[in-house]
Amino acid sequence: MMNQESNITIVEVAKKDAYLRELESKYSTSHYYDVSVCRESESWRIALTRRALENRLDKNYHGKLFENHIEELRVFAAVLCNKQVGWVELGYDKWNNRMRVWELLVEEEFRKRGIGTALMNHAVRIAKERGARMLVLETQTNNATAIDFYLNFGFELVGFDIAAYSNEDIEKKEVRLELGLKL
């Protein structure tokens, strides 16, 4: 995929040099992926169906870069006009030979310019260099824009958790999805 902004530079960020350690991500969505899990006598029937929300949903998420629990932690920033405008945080899981995207964020006013694609392409390159068999990440069923981005990038559903955040995740339309890209 070509970057719409040809002057994007991706640089590795050291913990001591990180200008943005607290991340604030905002998104709005009018769609979600409805999760249906039905147990039958000798099988399970599971479906994820894209549906329109009755009302537009605005979500805010706060996170931090450089969390101590991440193995082989690396953070990269997308730089545009000498300003960091996006970040991807990666960690390598030795036990299953997978690279995890812990954070992927592009500042709101810089979205839809190819910066997320540049960061994800860089994550794929780093994962391949490390010899990882797969790049994985987590998102929620109510973040339809992110899901569509990941699916268009080639990620597939590799798992989900219907009670990751609460006992009512399905009803809240916020089920944890695990997406993976085979390398």
HSE-CB at 126 with a 13 A cutoff on CA atoms is 25
The pLDDT averaged over each successive group of 10 residues in the chain (183 residues) is: 66 78 81 95 95 92 81 93 93 96 93 95 98 98 95 97 96 96 98
Residue 66, token pair as written in the block? 């450089």
Into how many domains does the chain fold?
1
Domain-embedded: residue 81: yes
Residue 107, token pair as written in the block? 């500042």
* Residue 86 burial by Cβ neighbours in a 10 Å radius (0-12, 13-18, 19+): buried
Domain-embedded: residue 45: yes
Domain-embedded: residue 153: no
CATH assignment at residue 111: 3.40.630.30
Domain-embedded: residue 144: no
Residue 77 domain boundaries: 9-133
CB atoms within 10 A of CB 15: 10
Domain-embedded: residue 18: yes
pTM: 0.89
